[in-house]
Chain A
Amino acid sequence: NAGVTQTPKFQVLKTGQSMTLQCAQDMNHEYMSWYRQDPGMGLRLIHYSVGAGITDQGEVPNGYNVSRSTTEDFPLRLLSAAPSQTSVYFCASSYLHRDQETQYFGPGTRLLVL
């Protein structure tokens, strides 16, 4: 199993550009989520999904869109990039069962918005 994969590893954008961060998992997990990590702020939840076709907002959803058309994939779209979106983005997946909530994280995407 590859686990959780994310692409690209690093991206530079100009203000106003759009892009999609890709996330895929091959563990048949129901839950997938996107976090951003900023210095001193820990991990903040952007969006999450409890299954294909179902998404919901997290703590900091503004400026981001998600969709979940398949169990495996959960892309994160930046509609119009802003410097405040410079961050490291992590995708995670997990089972939806009691005592099985361990999150499996991808390696992250470093995004720089100029």
Chain B
Amino acid sequence: GNSVTQMEGPVTLSEEAFLTINCTYTATGYPSLFWYVQYPGEGLQLLLKATKADDKGSNKGFEATYRKETTSFHLEKGSVQVSDSAVYFCALSDRGGSYIPTFGRGTSLIVHP
């Protein structure tokens, strides 16, 4: 079956630090990969996505590259801000299956001034 594994949090950083949140996946088909972000008290919203190998998704300074050979989709940002404090979810959608995404457990990011 499909599964997504994320690094456990919380990840605590100072403002302007470099961020990496690791994500690896297992899929029976050729999935699309996503990062969603959840700000306190809100629902999830799409941050970025990639639909094929070597694609790079990017948004709001965040980037992630679809690495088929290592089955990974790590999230990076060069300089985090306090406003980036949130929970980040890696997810995959199996286009050969039901399209319903499988989510990782989420990684909490706390950025201090």
Contact = CB atoms under 8 A, between A and B. Distances in A.
**Are these two chains actual partners, yes or no?**
yes
Contact of A103 (B42, B46, B106): B46
A107 B99 CA distance: 22
A43 B89 contact: yes
Contacts of B49: 102
A89 B99 CA distance: 20
Interface residues of B, number: 21
Contact of B104 (A42, A96, A101): A42
A98 B95 contact: yes
A103 to B, nearest CB: 6
B43 A107 contact: yes
A105 B99 contact: no
B73 interface: no
B51 A99 contact: yes
A104 B51 CA distance: 18
Contact of B44 (A48, A58, A90, A98): A90
A94 interface: yes
Contact of A42 (B34, B42, B99, B105): B105
A105 B45 contact: yes
B105 A40 contact: yes
A71 interface: no
A86 to B, nearest CB: 17
A58 B100 contact: yes
A98 to B, nearest CB: 6
Given A31-B100, A105-B44, 4 more contacts: A42-B89, A43-B106, A102-B49, A103-B44
Interface of B: 32, 34, 36, 42-46, 49, 51, 89, 93, 95, 98-101, 103-106
Interface of A: 4, 31, 33, 35, 40-43, 45, 48, 50, 56, 58, 90, 92, 94, 96, 98-99, 101-103, 105-108
